[in-house]
A and B are shown apart, each in its own frame.
Chain A
Amino acid sequence: MERPSLTVRTLPPSVAAPDTTPLVIPTDAPGLGRARPVGPLRREGPAKLTGEAKYADDLVFPGAWFGATIRSTQPHARLIGIDLDDAFDWMRVVVVTADDIPGENIVSLIDDDQPVLVPVGGEIRHQAEACVLLAAPDRATLAEAKRRVTLRTERLPAVFDPLEADREFAHYTVERGDAAAAMETAELVIEGTYRVGHQEQLYIENNAMIAVPREDGGVTVHGSLQCPYYIHKAMKRALNMGDELAVVVQAETGGGFGGKEEYPSIIALHASLLALKLQKPVRMIYDRHEDISATTKRHPAVVVYRSGISATGELVAQEIEVIMDGGAYCTLTPVVLSRGVLHAGGPYRCENVRITGRAMATNTPPNGAFRGFGAPQTEFAAEMQINRIADALDASPLDLRRRWVYREGDVTPTGQVLRESVGGIEVLEAAAAESAFDRTHAQTRAMREGRTEGARTATGIGLALAWHGAGFTGSGEVRLASVASLELTDDGRIRILTASTEMGQGTKTIFPQLVADALGVDYDEVAIAPQDTSIVPDSGPTVASRTAMVVGGLLIKAAEKLRARVESHTGRTFAESYRDAGPMRIDEQFAPYPGEPFDDKRYTGDAYPAFGWAAAVAKVDVDLDTGEVAVRDCVSANDIGRVIHPIMAEGQVEGGTLQAIGYATIEEMKLVDGRYLNDRMATYLIPTSLDAPRLKSILVEKPYSGVPHGAKGIGELPMDVGAPAVVAAIHDAIGVWIHDLPATPERILAAMTGAPMPPPPGVSLEEPAPRTPPIEDLPAGGDKMPFRAPTDPGAER
C-alpha cells in the first residue's frame, strides 16, 4: 500500500524576544507555497485583528435610513390585505409592497416559486415570510411604524411532516446491479430509519445588506454574502436592471457556512426596493432573532436504510430511501437532495445499490445550503448502518471499513470508476493510529462490561468514515463555466480578479499564494481585487468546497499563461520583467475535467471529478444520571488532495468538526406551528470552548491530477464524519443506538430506560406549546417546586 503523505501540525516556535512585528505582513513571514511548513500569514488578518476590517454593519453611508421587514405569523395563509394604521403619519416612513417591484416578483434561483414579497391576494407559505418592507430615518420611528402594520390573513391548512407532504421539489434514483435480488441472498440484513433535524449555520455576524441608489438609476448593494453573482442575477430580474445597473460588493463577511449562499439575494432585493423608492441608502441589518427566524437551515431528513451482508462477509446490497424537507420554497433543495442521494451509500464497495430520494414541501421556512449540503444527513445514516453491522457481527468497526472501503479502481453506484486520488483507507488508518482506536475500543469495552450499578459516567469511542464529492455535482461545473482572471496593470502590479469570497476560510490568502508560486514572485507582490461585480468576472459561487480546487486551478492556469506570455515578450524571467510588461490580462474559463460526463437524467457517470475522504474518531463521556454527552477527544483525518496552507486547512477541519459535534449533541431547532421556537442565541446553543474537545487534525495528500495543484477542497469534508463518530462513541459507552440527531440527554435517557422517545427532530408540533402555568397554579414551595433555588449552598451537599 502506498504510504499517505502526512502533514503534521506545528505550532510556531515560541520566541523570547519582545514582539516588534509591524502591522504590515513581514516580508520574512513563514512560508510561500507548500514547500514551506506553514504558509503565509492571513492576508486580511491584521485588519481583522485591529478592528479595522469593515463588515457590512460597520460601513457608514451618510443619510442612510434603516430598513425592516414585516413578516407573516402564519405557516400557511392567504394574504387578504395590508392594513396601515391611520393614526400613524405614513409620510414619516417609506412602505414597499409587492406592487413596488419593477421586475418579476421572483427570487431568481433554481425554480421561480419564491416571491420577493407576498402580494395581496397571494399565498403565505411559511412563518416569517416577507410581506411588507419599511424604512425610516431612525430606529425609533421604524419600531413604531412596524407596530402599526397589520397583515390580514385567512388561514389555510398547513403541512409540517415531509412524510405527509404531497408537493415534491425533486426526486432522484441511483441504481446499480439488482439490490432487491441481492438482498434476498444476504445472510444478514440490517435495517434502520434515521432522522435528522434542522441545523442553524449560526455565523456570528448576522445577515446584513446596505443598498445605495445611484444617479444612473442603478443600485449598489454592500453586504455579508458568499455569492455576488447569485445576488446580481436576482437583482437584474426582480429590479428589471441590466448588467451594469445592478452592482454587488462584498463587505468583510463574518462567516457563512452556506447560510449566506442564497438568502442574501432576498435581503439585497428588499434593501434595494426601499433604496430605489426612497432614493437614499437603506441599511437592512438583521438582528439575531430575525436571522434565525427567517433564514435558511440545514434540511431535515429521514433516511430509511437496508444493508445486506453475504455469508462471506461482503456488503452485497444497499436499499436506501432519502426524504428531505425542503421547507416552503425550492431554494437549492434539488441540488442538496442530489448530493445527499449520491453520498448515501457511504464510501463502500457494493455491487447492488438502489438509492431513491425525494424532497418535499412543507409549511416551514425554506431550508438551504449548509456545509456538507445534504451529505451529512445521508452519511450519518450510512455510518450508523456500518457501525450497527459491526456490532451485529461482533466485528471491529475499523476492520469492517478496511475491508469495504473504496480502493482505486472501484465503481460507485453511478458507475463512476474511482481512478485516482482515493484516500479512504489512508484517512482511516491515520485516524485509527492517532487515536489508538483498537486499544481504546478494547478498553472501553472492558469498562462497559465491568461497570457496576453505581457508575455515574460511561466512556466510549466511535469511528466514522466518509467521502465528499469535490466541486459542483454532475455537470454543474460545466454549466457554471466559471471565469477567473489575472491581470498585469499598466503600473506594473499583479492582480487577481475572481468573484470568490473570503468568509474566513482563506480565499484571500491562498489565491495570491498559488499565483505567486506559479509566477515565481513573492506572495506580497500579488494583489487581489475586491469582490465587486463591476470589477470581477463570474467565478461561480463560493460554495461546495470548490474555491481552492476549481477557481484556484483556473488561477494557476491563468498564471502559467501570463508568465509564458511575459517571458516570451521580454526574454527574461517573469519576476525580473513583469513590472514593465503590462497591461495584460488573462481570462481563464473552466474546461471540463477528464472522465465520463454525468448524465443528469439517468444519474450515471462521474458525479464528481474527485472525492475528498475523511475519517473521525470521537471519544465521549456519557453522564449516566443526566444523559449528557461530553466529547473529550476528536481526531479527524482528511484527504484533501494537496495541502495549500496547512494552518488554514487545519482550521477548516477543526471548525467543521466542532459544527458536526454540535449537530450530534446539542443543536436542534424546535418548531411549533411551523415557527422556530429557539430563535435566539440564548436558546439555540452551539458548542462553547468548554464544550469543545481538543481537536486533532491530520491532513492526508492524495493529489487529484485534473487540477494543476492537485487540491480537492476541504471545507465540507469534516462535517460528514463528526456526528456518526460521536453517536458510535455513545453506543460504545452505554450500549444503545441513538437513531435521531441530535443525541440529546432526553433521547439518550429514553433509549437507556425505555421511556417514550421525544418527537423526531425537524417536525413542527401542531399546537402552540403549553404555556408556563400562572404562578398561583404552581405547587407550594419546598420540594414540590419545579425549580428549587438553592438558598443554602451547603444544603446541596
Chain B
Amino acid sequence: MGHYGEERVVSFEFTVNGERVVVEATGTRRLLDVLREDLNLTGTKEGCGEGECGACSVLIDGALVDACLVPVSQVTGASVQTVEGEAQDGRLSILQQAFLETGGAQCGICTPGMLIAGRAFLSSGTEPTDHNIREAIAGNLCRCTGYTKIIDAIALAAQRSAHQ
C-alpha cells in the first residue's frame, strides 16, 4: 500500500438496524468488514468478496447491495439494515418463520443474504409470482436448496404479510 500513500483513519457515522453507530476506519474499509469485525455483526457473510454470491447482502437506505463492494465512506449518514435487524423483540419475523417452515434454510450461509433480498422484495410490493421472486433473489447464490423452498418461503411470507 506504501506507494499509494497511507490511508487516514477517520470517523464514519451511520445507523445499523436503527441504532446510530460511529466507527473509526479508513474510508476504503469494506462495509462487510466494518459490520463483521468492528460492530461484531457476523450474521452478514462473505462468500466471494467480489459481488457474485450475495451472501453479504444488506439494505442501504432500503436498497439491496453487496456489503463486500461498498466502502464504509459511502454509507455516511445512511441507514444500513442487516439480518440481525430482521427479528423483532426476540421473535422471528414472518419472513424468517416462513423460511423455517418451508425448509428455505439448509446450511444457512446464504440465508442472511436471502432474507435481506426477500425483505427488499416484500417491501417493493411486487406481485409475489414465482418469476418475480426468482428475479428478486437472482443475485443471491444458494448451493443447497435448488431455490424452490426459498421461493416458497418468500411467497408464503408475502401471503401472510398481505393478511396482516
Contacts and interface: CB of A to CB of B under 8 A. Distances in A.
Contacts of B101: 12, 30, 41
A255 B146 CA distance: 13
Given A42-B103, A647-B149, A48 B111 contact: yes
B97 A647 contact: no
Contact of B137 (A22, A54, A689): A689
Interface stretch (A157-165, A447-455, A489-497, A648-656): A648-656
A440 B107 CA distance: 36
B43 A689 contact: no
A54 B48 contact: no
Interface in B102-135: 102-103, 105-112, 115, 130, 133-135
A688 B107 contact: no
Given A41-B101, A690-B134, A658 B147 contact: yes
Contact of B53 (A14, A15, A648, A681): A681
Contacts of B112: 51
Interface stretch (A202-210, A312-320, A323-331, A742-750): A202-210
Given A12-B156, A204-B109, A255-B109, A651 B145 contact: yes
A656 B28 CA distance: 39
A356 interface: no
Contacts of A86: none
A288 interface: yes
A157 B160 CA distance: 64
Contacts of B82: 51
Interface residues of A, number: 69
Nearest to A653: B146
A19 interface: yes
Given A11-B152, A45-B105, A288 B47 contact: yes
Interface string A50-68: 1111110110100000000
Contacts of B151: 689
A44 B149 contact: no
A504 interface: yes
B138 interface: yes
Given A21-B97, A690-B134, A682 B52 contact: yes
B92 A46 contact: yes
B83 interface: yes
A780 interface: no
A650 B99 CA distance: 15
B138 A690 contact: yes
B48 A19 contact: no
B103 A650 contact: yes
B156 A11 contact: yes
B41 A22 contact: no
Given A42-B103, A50-B83, A647-B103, A686 B143 contact: yes
Most A C-beta atoms less than 10 A away, residue of B36, B84, B141: B141
Nearest to A59: B42
Most B C-beta atoms less than 10 A away, residue of A18, A19, A41: A19
A651 B143 CA distance: 11
A174 interface: no
A204 B147 CA distance: 14
B144 interface: yes
Most A C-beta atoms less than 10 A away, residue of B41, B52, B103, B160: B103
A19 B108 contact: no
A113 B164 CA distance: 63
B11 interface: no
A287 interface: yes
B111 A49 contact: yes
B75 interface: no
B105 A48 contact: yes
B146 to A, nearest CB: 4
A543 B21 CA distance: 44
Nearest to B47: A204
Contacts of B45: 55, 204-205, 254
Interface in B28-59: 36, 40-50, 52-53, 55
Interface in A31-50: 41-42, 44-50
22 contacts: A11-B152, A14-B159, A18-B164, A21-B97, A42-B100, A46-B100, A49-B96, A51-B43, A51-B44, A51-B82, A51-B84, A54-B42, A55-B109, A60-B40, A204-B141, A205-B47, A205-B107, A504-B106, A504-B108, A651-B149, A688-B141, A690-B138
Given A21-B92, A21-B97, A46-B96, 8 more contacts: A45-B108, A49-B115, A51-B42, A140-B1, A255-B144, A504-B107, A658-B147, A682-B52
